Every structure is written in C-alpha cells, then in structure tokens.
C-alpha cells in the first residue's frame, strides 16, 4: 500500500494529464483469467464456489452433505481431481468471484439468463424448475376452509402491484420481479436483501414474519414448505427455467468435460435418487431440520462435543480434528463394535483399554478420555517429526494400523530414498508398499505385513472431513 501511494505522489501530474496511461493500467489489471482444465489438472485441484445452505452443502451428524456437494464429489472423481470447496460469503457476487479467478466452477442453482450468459458460460442444465411466490397463510389457517385460505392470500401476481417482495438483488428473482412490473403495468416494490442470505434463510424470514413475500425456485420452496406448512408456494411467477452451474467463458475444456459428465450422469438412476433425496424426500428433510446436529441450526457436530473439547486439551489438538477421527471410527455411534474386538466411539481394543484404565469402553467419557490419551502417547512417540501437521498425520496412521508398522514404513522410505518425516507421497506410499511380500519380508522390516490401504485412506479421510468441519463449525 505504501508503495502505491509513493508512486501516486511522484507521478500525480503525469497521471492526471494522461488518460491513455490510466486506461492502459486498467486493461492490464483486468486481464482475463485463463485457467482451464489443463492447468487445473497440473494443480490437481478443482476449486469450486458453493453456497452454504440446507440443500447445496451442509453438515449433518458429522457428515458433509448436499445436492451440489454430492454431485461435485462424482465430478471430481470422474476428472481425477481433488475437490476444493470454497463457501461463498455473498451469493450476489458468485459470478464476479468466478471471473476474478477465486474458483474454477460455480456449483449453485443458477437460472440461465441472457444477462448472466454475458458474464459466464453455463453447463448443460441439471434440472428445470419455475419461480413461485412464497407467502404465509393466516395464523389460524388449519381451522379455515381451503377456499377461505385462498381468499386470504395472493392468488395472482397482479395482486402484488403496490406491495413489497423481498429478494437478493443479483438474482433471477429480482430480474423477474422487474419484468413482472413491466408486464403488468404496475410497480412491485422490491426490497433488496443482503447477499449472504441463502434462499432457505429468506424463506424462514417469511415464516417468522420478518418479510411479507419472497420468490424462490419451486423445488426449494416446496421442500421448505414441507417443514413449514404455514407457507403457501402455489403461485407461479415465471415460466420454466433451466438451472445450471457456471465456468469462465474461456474455460472451454472444463465446460466440455463437465457437460460430458453431466450428460452421462443424468442417464443414471443415481442422478434421480440424488435429486429426490434433497428436493422431494420430505421425511428426511424434516428429520434434518429438527436435528440439533444440523449445521444450519446449530454449531454442533455430535452429542459428544463437550467431552471431545475437554479431552482435546490433553493433546493440544483442535477438537474438530478429534471429532473427525471419532466419526471415522464409529460415526458417533456409541455402541459401535468391530470383529477385532474394538468397541465404542474411538473403537478401543480391550488391551489398550486395560492399559489406560478404561473399565467401560461403552461409556463415552471413559472411551474418549482413553482414546485421546492413547493418541497423545502415539503423538509423543513421533517427537522427532518437527512439522506439526506431519506429526499429526503419522499419529493418525499409527492409531489406525499400529505405531511399529508406521516405523517400518519410515524405514522403507529411507531405503527408497524418500523422506521418512513426510507423510504424503513419501511414508504414505511406503505404508501402501508394505502390503506386498517383496517389501515386508526385507530384513530391515521388523513387523511384517500391513494392509496399507487402510491407514493411507484413514489419514486422507480424516483430514478431508476436518476441512469440512472447520468450514461449518466455528470455535
């Protein structure tokens, strides 16, 4: 910043007298981002801008879920890329952020409009919907006849003339209200809301009486109305619209690859199952919305958060990382047991429990206290690893397959010219190699065979889940 003002000071006269130079600087600053699929492949990550909402991307009972999120998992697997989720803080700025290079893809239910096509290239549509008016029935609607309910609410968009409807500004809803005013020859007053509000949150504002009306896509409005039956979503205000994702106009390789995948995936039964799961299954939606462990409602991961937080002080780790491990072990099911004899939330073995004086492995307090104590022992056993994140990865691997198998993998890394203090692409590869006789029968290897795929995936899965947790759950 200081350098910029220094430059401004010594060049003020020239700057003011030479508009061509100013234009030239602006053009340089706005050079289009050219990152396409070939560059993304080199990077190994598909960066996706997504909305935090009850249908797109959320956390439920420790598991990341959402229509867009699950589709993206399939797409990333198809493209052989790591998925990097970026949550948008302002839904009105999705396409602006895309243009700026903050992400490669916007995975949010955007209606394809001519105005938006000037800013981005849209994929093949994912589904077709229409916009509907979201309004509240009278408080005593259950005691009223259907005809009386209809008489008390808007039944035709013409009735909105002179009234106020609340929507975010940079949405197809806003544009549709403007067009409706023109078509009907009377003004609908548009109350513009903040860009950080999701459609579901705005619908809830209607329920709470904070706003009178809003507009939403029918599938979103209908699924929310299944939980809030006081809502009426039966008045259409638009024709059918195609809903799609967006990429930068010059990302033609990514667009072609994504479209090819969409066409193939939509032909599979799994696509309809996924759509129904989030937009038509009213029972599952109601169950999520009522849950204390639905991240839209609360800042909780599991019923055991307080116990995890307390015991995390023992090892000095972020409690959300330990929660990610516990989900991996038991899905937070306290009665979980394995063929090996492991039991409880952290799947403690009988011998380990005895060593740590855990008398009841199905007692959440005892199990988590003992499990974290064991983690600390393994963590202390890797004190020679200086990098804190690497040390955690080695600790997690040891928790899964055993401390000495990890030590064998470190030894094998040395023998193969790899770094024994780095997990990814070094010791992790050697833990996989210990699956094969040519490696585990070597005289330098003391503890023999290990199913290396388990600890390899275990570490990756826990860190991936942890990255989701820190997006949703604030300290």
Are 367 and 346 spatial neighbours (Cβ–Cβ below 8 Å)? yes
CA 107 to CA 130: how far, in whole Å? 19
Output the CA torsion sign for 102, 105, 111, 116: positive
pLDDT at residue 1 is higher than 90? no
CA 266 to CA 73: how far, in whole Å? 15
Please name the helix (run of DSSP H) or strand (run of DSSP E) that holds residue 422, with its range, or none: none
Identify each DSSP E strand in 361-473 by its residue range. none
Lookup result for tokens 């290897």: 445
Q: Which residues have a catalytic role annotated?
A: 329
pLDDT at residue 474 is higher than 90? no
How would residue 12 be classed by pLDDT, with cut points 50, 70 and 90? very low
pLDDT tens digit sequence for 176-212:
999 999 999 999 999 999 999 999 999 999 999 999 9
CA-derived radius of gyration, the chain:
27
pLDDT tens digit sequence for 277-324:
999 999 999 999 889 898 888 889 999 999 999 999 999 999 999 999
Kindly report the average pLDDT of the chain as a whole number: 92
Q: Tell me the mean pLDDT in the region 417-424.
A: 98
Cα angle for residues 319, 324, 425 (degrees, 5° grid):
110
pLDDT tens digit sequence for 388-405:
999 999 999 999 999 999
pLDDT at residue 28 is higher than 70? no
Residue 30 is predicted with a pLDDT of 65
Q: What is the pTM of this model?
A: 0.83
pLDDT at residue 256 is higher than 50? yes
Are 304 and 364 spatial neighbours (Cβ–Cβ below 8 Å)? yes
Residue 149 is predicted with a pLDDT of 94
pLDDT tens digit sequence for 338-394:
988 999 999 999 999 999 999 999 999 999 999 999 999 999 999 999 999 999 999
Instruction: Check residues 211 and 10 and name the one with the higher pLDDT.
Output: 211
Structure tokens, 78: 């198809």
Residue 31 is predicted with a pLDDT of 80
Residue 403 is predicted with a pLDDT of 97
Residue 296 is predicted with a pLDDT of 84
Q: Long-range pairs for 286-289 at CB < 8 Å and ≥24 separation?
A: 286/226, 286/227, 288/54, 288/60, 289/54, 289/227
CA 415 to CA 22: how far, in whole Å? 60
pLDDT tens digit sequence for 128-168:
999 999 999 999 999 999 999 999 999 999 999 999 999 99
CA 308 to CA 320: how far, in whole Å? 8
Residue 292 is predicted with a pLDDT of 86
Residue 224 is predicted with a pLDDT of 94
Residue 391 is predicted with a pLDDT of 98
Identify which of 462, 398, 456 has the alpha carbon closest to the alpha carbon of residue 424: 456
């Amino acid at each position: 910043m200081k350098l910029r003002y220094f430059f401004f000071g010594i060049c003020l006269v020239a700057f003011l007298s030479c508009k061509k130079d100013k234009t030239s600087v602006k053009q340089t600053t706005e050079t289009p981002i050219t990152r396409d699929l070939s560059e993304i492949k080199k990077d190994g990550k598909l960066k996706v801008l997504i909305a935090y909402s009850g249908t797109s991307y959320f956390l439920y009972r420790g598991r990341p879920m959402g229509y867009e999120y699950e589709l993206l998992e399939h797409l990333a697997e198809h493209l052989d890329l790591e998925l990097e989720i970026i949550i948008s803080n302002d839904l009105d700025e999705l396409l602006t952020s895309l243009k700026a290079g903050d992400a490669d893809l916007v995975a949010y239910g955007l209606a394809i409009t001519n105005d938006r096509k000037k800013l981005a290239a849209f994929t093949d549509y994912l589904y077709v919907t229409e916009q509907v008016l979201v309004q509240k029935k009278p408080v005593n609607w259950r005691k009223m006849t259907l005809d009386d309910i209809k008489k008390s609410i808007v039944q035709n968009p013409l009735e909105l003339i002179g009234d106020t409807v609340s929507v975010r500004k940079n949405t197809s809803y806003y544009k549709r209200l403007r067009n409706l005013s023109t078509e009907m020859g009377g003004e609908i007053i548009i109350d513009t809301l903040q860009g950080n509000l999701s459609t579901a949150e705005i619908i809830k504002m209607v329920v709470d009486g904070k706003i009178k009306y809003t507009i939403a896509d029918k599938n979103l409005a209908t699924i929310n109305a299944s939980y809030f039956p006081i809502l009426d979503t039966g008045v259409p205000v638009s024709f059918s619209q195609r809903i799609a994702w967006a990429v930068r106009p010059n990302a033609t390789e990514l667009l072609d690859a994504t479209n090819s995948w969409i066409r193939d995936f939509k032909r599979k039964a799994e696509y309809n199952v996924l759509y129904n799961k989030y937009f038509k299954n009213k029972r599952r939606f109601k169950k999520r919305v009522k849950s204390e462990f639905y991240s839209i409602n609360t800042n909780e991961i599991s019923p055991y958060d307080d116990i995890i937080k307390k015991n995390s002080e023992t090892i000095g780790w972020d409690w959300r990382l330990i929660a990610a491990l516990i989900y991996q072990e038991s899905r937070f099911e306290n009665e979980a047991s394995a063929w090996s004899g492991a039991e409880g939330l952290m799947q403690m073995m009988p011998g380990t429990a005895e060593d740590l004086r855990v008398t009841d492995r199905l007692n959440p307090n005892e199990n988590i206290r003992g499990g974290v104590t064991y983690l600390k022992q393994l963590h202390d056993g890797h004190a020679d690893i200086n990098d804190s994140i690497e040390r955690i990865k080695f600790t997690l691997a040891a928790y899964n397959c055993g401390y000495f198998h990890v030590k064998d993998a470190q030894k094998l890394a040395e023998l193969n010219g790899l770094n024994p203090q780095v997990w990814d692409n070094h010791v992790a590869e050697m833990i996989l190699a210990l699956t094969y006789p040519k490696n585990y029968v070597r005289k330098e290897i003391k503890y023999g065979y290990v199913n290396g795929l388990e600890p390899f995936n275990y570490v990756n899965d826990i860190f991936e889940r942890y990255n989701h947790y820190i997006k949703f759950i604030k300290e």
